[in-house]
Amino acid sequence: MGFSHFKDGKAVMVDVSKKEDTSRRATACGSIEVNSETMDLIVNGGIKKGDVLGVARVAAIMASKKTHELIPMCHPLLLTGADIDFEIDEENLVIYAAGTVKTTGQTGVEMEALQMVSTALLTIYDMCKAIDKEMIIGRIYLKEKTGGKSGNFVNSKI
Amino acid sequence: MGFSHFKDGKAVMVDVSKKEDTSRRATACGSIEVNSETMDLIVNGGIKKGDVLGVARVAAIMASKKTHELIPMCHPLLLTGADIDFEIDEENLVIYAAGTVKTTGQTGVEMEALQMVSTALLTIYDMCKAIDKEMIIGRIYLKEKTGGKSGNFVNSKI
Amino acid sequence: MGFSHFKDGKAVMVDVSKKEDTSRRATACGSIEVNSETMDLIVNGGIKKGDVLGVARVAAIMASKKTHELIPMCHPLLLTGADIDFEIDEENLVIYAAGTVKTTGQTGVEMEALQMVSTALLTIYDMCKAIDKEMIIGRIYLKEKTGGKSGNFVNSKI
Amino acid sequence: MGFSHFKDGKAVMVDVSKKEDTSRRATACGSIEVNSETMDLIVNGGIKKGDVLGVARVAAIMASKKTHELIPMCHPLLLTGADIDFEIDEENLVIYAAGTVKTTGQTGVEMEALQMVSTALLTIYDMCKAIDKEMIIGRIYLKEKTGGKSGNFVNSKI
Amino acid sequence: MGFSHFKDGKAVMVDVSKKEDTSRRATACGSIEVNSETMDLIVNGGIKKGDVLGVARVAAIMASKKTHELIPMCHPLLLTGADIDFEIDEENLVIYAAGTVKTTGQTGVEMEALQMVSTALLTIYDMCKAIDKEMIIGRIYLKEKTGGKSGNFVNSKI
Amino acid sequence: MGFSHFKDGKAVMVDVSKKEDTSRRATACGSIEVNSETMDLIVNGGIKKGDVLGVARVAAIMASKKTHELIPMCHPLLLTGADIDFEIDEENLVIYAAGTVKTTGQTGVEMEALQMVSTALLTIYDMCKAIDKEMIIGRIYLKEKTGGKSGNFVNSKI
C-alpha cells in the first residue's frame, strides 16, 4: 500500500470522481495546557466568562470552511454542519476541544475536523499569550469518522 | 493583569498604533507520531524521499501568510521571511517540525510561527491518512522569540 | 422559537445534512444617497458612463462567492447564478441596487444576495469618496426568496 | 474635480506611492431594525446575553482585514487596531453598531470601518433570520476620520 | 451568437441552474522559456532535482481551487481531482506544463485547468527570477475537455 | 549562483529583513489571440464596447493583491498602485495587456505585475470562451522594473 496523494511519485489531488456521495461525519479532539493565572482569567476572570472560548469557537468554525485552502491536496467540500465544544479541567490546567464536521460528498471531513480543533487551540493561545507564552498545544487527533468507502473509524489509541 | 484582547469585556484587535516598528523573529515547534508503515514510506518509500515533507513545507509557508485571516484578533503583518525544518526520528516514529518567521513591524510573529508548524503537521496527516488515521499531533509550542517591547523570550518549559 | 445558530447557548454552523437539495433563489435590495456633484459625474461625467457601476457590479458578484468566508455561520454553497442591477434616481440623488443569487442546495442564498448588494454599495462609496464622504448607504433588505422548506417569502414591509 | 479611481476613463488602484505614512483612524456607523421577538431573544433570550453580538463582533473584526479583497480599488493596509461597539435601543427595536479602525499608512481606513460595520449587521441578520426575515439594515455611513492629506473629517449630515 | 457572460450589456455570473450535473474534465497546457543557466540548475543543480517543479506543482493544485475567486464570472465548483505534469526540453530550454482538472457539476473546468497551468508557470518564474528575469511564459491554451452540453472538445489549432 | 528560494535544498520564503525599503515599480506584458468573431464582439459587439476589458481590468487589479496567496514563496507587500492597459490589434486578432504595479518595500513587484497580466488574459478567455475555446494566451513577460538592490531592469529580449 502507498500514499494516495502521490501518483508516480508526484503530488496530486486524488481523483475521487468515481466515488459516491455519502453522508459523512468526523470528530477531532485536542487540548491546550495553560498556567493557573490564565485558567483563572478564562474561568472567573475580569472579563465575562466564556469570551475566550466564544472567540475560539467562531474562529474554529470559520477555519473549517478554509481547510481546502490550507491543506494542499484537500478537496473542496460543502460542509453541512460544524460544531465545537470545550471542556475545562481547572485542576489540571487543561482546556479540551472536540469538533465535529458533517458533509454529504465524495470525500471525508477528517481534515476539516482537525483544522477546526487546531484553529480553536491557536486562537486560545493568541488571546492568552499576553499572560503566558509557555502554553502547550497537545495531542490533536481524529477521534472517529463515519461514512465513505472505508466506513466507520474509531481511534483505538485513545 | 488581564487579557490584552478584551477591552471592557469585549473582543478587540488590540491598538498597536503607538508601538514602534522593530525587527522580530519567532520560532515554534511541533511533532507528529506516525506508525512504522507510514514512517517507512516517508523515509524509504515507493515515492521519492522527502515529497511528503516537501508538500508540507510549501503548505506551511503559505499558511504563515494567512495567519491573520484565521486567528481573529491577529494583526496583518508583512512577513520578511519564513522557513521550516523537519527532523525525522525513525526509531521513535516521530517527525519534528521547527518553523521560524521574521518581520519588521509593530507586533510579533508568534502566531505566524505556530500557524506554520500546525499547518505542516496537518498536511503530513492529510498525505498519510490513507495508511494510518491514528497519527497524533502533539506538543506545539513557541520555542523562542526576539524583538518587541517584551524583548526576548525562551520557553523555559521545554 | 429560538435562534437556529445556537445549540445549548453556543454558536454552531447549523446541521443541514438532512435537508433536501432544492432550487433556491433570493433577491436583496439596497441604496446609496449621493450628492449632486457625484450623481452628475456618475451619469454624465468626465469618465464614460457606467464605469462606477461596472466596477461595483464585478465586486458584487465576486463578493457573493465569498459570503461564507465573511458570515461565520453561513454554509458554503455552489452558486449557480448571480446578477445585479442598478437604477439611478437622478432627481432624488439615490442609486438603487437589486441583486439576485441562485443555487441548488440544502440552504438558502439570502445572505449571498445581501452580501452582493452590500458590497456593490460599499464599492460605489469607495469610488466616489474623493468627491463626497457624506454618502449614506441605506435600507438593505431581503426582497424575496423561493425554495427550501420554509417556501416562498416576499418582504411585506417594503 | 473628478473620480480619483479612474485615469483617462479606466479604473485604477490609485497611485499613493508619493503620499506620506501618517497615523489614521476612521469610524463608521450603521444600524439594523429587528422585530420585538428577535429583540427579546437577543436581550433576554434563551441563549446567554450577548452571543449574537459576540459573533457579529468577531466577524466584523475579521472582515475589516479583508476589505482590500472585497473592494476592488482599495489598497492593502496593515491595520493597527479594530474595535466595534453595539448599542441596543430596545424601545425602538434598533441595534446600532459603531466601528473604529486604525492604521499607519499611505491611505485611509474609511472603507475598512464601513466594511466592519456592514459585516457586523449582515452577521446579526444571518443569526436572527430564522425568526424574522424582514429586518432592515439602514444608514451605514462614515462618522469621522483623522489623518491623511485631507485631514480630519466629521460627517455634517448626521 | 454573443457573449454568455453579459445580459443586456451587463456582466453576470451566467445562470446554470437548469443545467445538469455531468462528469467533466479539462486539460490545459503551457510553457516557459528559460536560459541555459536556469535550465541547468533546475535539472542538475545544486539543489535536489525536481524541487522547483515540486513547489510549482503544489502552487498549481492550490490555485485550481481558487479559480472562482480570481476570475469574476466563474462559478464555484467542487473539484474532484487535479493533477499537473511537467516535461523538460533541455535542448530547446523550454519547460512544458499540462494540467488536468475534474469535477461533477453544472459547468466545466476549463478555467480551473488554465489557472493551474498559469500558476505553475508563474511559480517557476518566481523561483528562478534571481538568476534570469527574461524568461517568457508562452502559449497557454485549452487542449481538450469532456462533458457538459457542448460535449467533447479537442483544440484543433495545436 | 543559485536559486534564492532554496536554502540547503529546501524551499524557503527568502529572508529580506535586512533589505531596505525602496520605491519599486514593475511592468509586465502579455497577449491573447482571438478569432475574428470574438474580436468583432469585443470591439463592435452587441454589448457596449469595452465591457470584456472592463471586467478583465477589475479582475487583474484584484489579483495583483492576491499574488502572495498564489505564489508560495512571494512576500506579502503593500501595493501602492496598480494599473493595466489594453491595446487591441484588430487586424492581427490580438489583444495586448500591460500592467504596472508599485510599492515601497523590501522586495520587488515583478510577480504582482505578471499575476495581474495573467489574470487579465484568463478573464478575457473566460468571458469569450462560449464563442471560441481555441484562444491562445501567449508571451507573458516582465518588461521592466525599477528600484531595489539589483536596480533597474529592461527586458532585452523584447
Name the E residues in 19-38 with CB < 8 Å from any F CB: 30, 37
The residues that bridge with B30 in the sheet, in sequence order, are B97
The CA distance from D45 to C3, in Å, is: 9
Mutate to test the interface with E, among C80, C102, C115, C146 (most CBs of E within 10 A): C80
Query: Which domains does chain A show, CATH number per domain?
Result: 32-154 (3.30.70.640)
Q: Determine the length of chain D.
A: 158
Outline where F23-109 has alpha helix (H).
36-44, 51-64, 67-70
More confident: E157 or B33: B33
Per-residue cell: A1: 500500500
> What is residue B117's predicted lDDT score, i.e. its pLDDT?
98
Range with the poorest average pLDDT among A116-130, D49-63, D125-139, E60-74? D49-63
Range with the poorest average pLDDT among A142-151, E98-107, F26-35, F42-51? F42-51
Q: Is C13 annotated as a binding residue?
A: no
Task: Give the confidence band of F7 by pLDDT, cuts at 50, 70, 90.
Answer: confident
The most confident of the ranges B40-54, F117-131, F144-158 is F117-131
Name the neighbours of B, counting chains with at least 3 Cβ pairs within 8 A.
A, D, E, F
D50 in contact with A, Cβ within 8 Å? yes
Whether B78 and B105 have beta carbons less than 8 Å apart is answered as: yes
Overall average pLDDT of the F11-31 stretch: 94
Mean pLDDT of chain A: 92
Task: Note if A15 is an active site residue.
Answer: no
The CA distance from D49 to D32, in Å, is: 18
The closest of F29, B72, E76, E8 to A77, measured between CA atoms, is E76
Dihedral sign for Cα A110, A111, A115, A121, please.
positive
Candidates F15, F51, F89, F126; catalytic one = F126
Overall average pLDDT of the E127-134 stretch: 94
Per-residue cell: F133: 475555446
Overall average pLDDT of the C96-103 stretch: 98
Whole-angstrom CA distances from B49 to B44, E49, F18 are 6, 12, 34
Whether F123 and E67 have beta carbons less than 8 Å apart is answered as: no
Per-residue pLDDT tens over the stretch D54-108: 999 999 999 999 999 999 999 999 999 999 999 999 999 999 999 999 999 999 9
Region of residue D50 (phi > 0: left; psi between -120 and 50: alpha; otherwise: beta): left
Overall average pLDDT of the C35-63 stretch: 85
The residues that bridge with F33 in the sheet, in sequence order, are F94, F136
Per-residue pLDDT tens over the stretch C14-45: 999 999 899 999 999 999 999 999 999 888 76
Chains A and B form CB pairs within 8 A to the count of 176
Overall average pLDDT of the E39-64 stretch: 84
Name the neighbours of C, counting chains with at least 3 Cβ pairs within 8 A.
A, D, E, F
Task: Give the confidence band of F158 by pLDDT, cuts at 50, 70, 90.
Answer: confident
Predicted-complex ipTM score: 0.96
> What is residue B5's predicted lDDT score, i.e. its pLDDT?
83
Task: Give the confidence band of F130 by pLDDT, cuts at 50, 70, 90.
Answer: very high
B57 in contact with F, Cβ within 8 Å? yes
> What is residue A48's predicted lDDT score, i.e. its pLDDT?
52
Binding-site entries of F for substrate = 73-75, 111-112
D7 in contact with F, Cβ within 8 Å? yes
Choose the closest CB to A65 out of C15, C17, C68. Answer: C68
Q: Is E116 annotated as a binding residue?
A: no
Residue C94 C-alpha, separation from nearest chain F C-alpha, in angstroms: 24
Residue B39 C-alpha, separation from nearest chain E C-alpha, in angstroms: 21
Q: Is A75 annotated as a binding residue?
A: yes
Residues of chain C in contact with residue D74, where contact means CB-CB under 8 angstroms, are 126
Outline where chain A has alpha helix (H).
36-44, 51-64, 67-70, 110-128
**DSSP of C73-88, one letter per residue?**
TPPP--EEEEEEEEEE
Whether E19 and E107 have beta carbons less than 8 Å apart is answered as: yes
Helical (H) or strand (E) element with A28: strand A22-33
The residues that bridge with C11 in the sheet, in sequence order, are C6
Task: Give the confidence band of C110 by pLDDT, cuts at 50, 70, 90.
Answer: very high
> What is residue F33's predicted lDDT score, i.e. its pLDDT?
97
The tens place of each residue's pLDDT in chain B, 158 residues long, gives 577 888 877 899 999 999 989 999 999 999 999 999 999 988 876 455 458 999 999 999 999 999 999 999 999 999 999 999 999 999 999 999 999 999 999 999 999 999 999 999 999 999 999 999 999 998 999 999 999 887 899 999 88
Candidates C21, C51, C89, C126; catalytic one = C126
- Nearest chain F residue to D106 by CA distance is F80
> What is residue B45's predicted lDDT score, i.e. its pLDDT?
62
Percent of chain F at pLDDT > 70 equals 95
Task: Give the confidence band of F43 by pLDDT, cuts at 50, 70, 90.
Answer: confident
Residue C84 C-alpha, separation from nearest chain F C-alpha, in angstroms: 14
> What is residue B49's predicted lDDT score, i.e. its pLDDT?
46
The closest of A81, A79, A64 to A119, measured between CA atoms, is A64
Mutate to test the interface with D, among A58, A66, A124 (most CBs of D within 10 A): A58
Yes or no, beta carbons of F54 and D105 under 8 Å apart? no
Choose the closest CB to F61 out of D13, D16, D77. Answer: D13
Residue A49 has pLDDT above 50, yes or no: no
Q: Determine the length of chain B.
A: 158
Yes or no, beta carbons of D138 and C138 under 8 Å apart? yes
Overall average pLDDT of the F131-157 stretch: 93
Per-residue pLDDT tens over the stretch A104-139: 999 999 999 999 999 999 999 999 999 999 999 989
Name the B residues in 74-113 with CB < 8 Å from any F CB: 76-83, 85, 102-104
Choose the closest CB to E3 out of F2, F71, F130. Answer: F130
Choose the closest CB to F58 out of C48, C50, C58. Answer: C58
Yes or no, beta carbons of F3 and E135 under 8 Å apart? no
Task: Give the confidence band of C1 by pLDDT, cuts at 50, 70, 90.
Answer: low
> What is residue E1's predicted lDDT score, i.e. its pLDDT?
54
> What is residue C50's predicted lDDT score, i.e. its pLDDT?
56
Phi, psi of D130 (to 5 degrees): -65, -25
Residues of chain B in contact with residue E51, where contact means CB-CB under 8 angstroms, are 54
> What is residue D49's predicted lDDT score, i.e. its pLDDT?
46
Whole-angstrom CA distances from D101 to C135, D20, D65 are 19, 19, 10
The CA distance from B54 to E55, in Å, is: 8
The closest of F154, F157, F99, F90 to F123, measured between CA atoms, is F99
Mean pLDDT of chain C: 92
Task: Give the confidence band of A51 by pLDDT, cuts at 50, 70, 90.
Answer: confident
Outline where chain D has alpha helix (H).
36-44, 51-64, 67-70, 110-128
More confident: A141 or A21: A141
Per-residue cell: C72: 461565520
Name the neighbours of F, counting chains with at least 3 Cβ pairs within 8 A.
B, C, D, E
Residues of chain A in contact with residue B130, where contact means CB-CB under 8 angstroms, are 1, 3-5
Helical (H) or strand (E) element with F112: helix F110-128
> What is residue C144's predicted lDDT score, i.e. its pLDDT?
97
Per-residue pLDDT tens over the stretch E71-87: 999 999 999 999 999 99
The CA distance from F155 to E49, in Å, is: 28
The residues, ordered by sequence, that sit 6+ positions from C14 with a Cβ below 8 Å of its Cβ are A81, C4, C5, C73, C75
A70 in contact with E, Cβ within 8 Å? no
Percent of chain A at pLDDT > 90 equals 81
> What is residue C9's predicted lDDT score, i.e. its pLDDT?
78
Task: Give the confidence band of E49 by pLDDT, cuts at 50, 70, 90.
Answer: very low
> What is residue A151's predicted lDDT score, i.e. its pLDDT?
83
> What is residue F49's predicted lDDT score, i.e. its pLDDT?
46
Mean pLDDT of chain F: 92
Choose the closest CB to A17 out of E54, E62, E80. Answer: E80
- Angle in degrees, CA A67, A69, A75, rounded to 5: 70
**CB count in 10 Å sphere of residue E22:** 16
Residue F65 C-alpha, separation from nearest chain C C-alpha, in angstroms: 14
Q: Determine the length of chain E.
A: 158
Yes or no, beta carbons of B70 and A122 under 8 Å apart? yes
Residue C126 has pLDDT above 80, yes or no: yes
Yes or no, beta carbons of B52 and A3 under 8 Å apart? yes
- Nearest chain C residue to A67 by CA distance is C69
Whether A124 and A56 have beta carbons less than 8 Å apart is answered as: yes
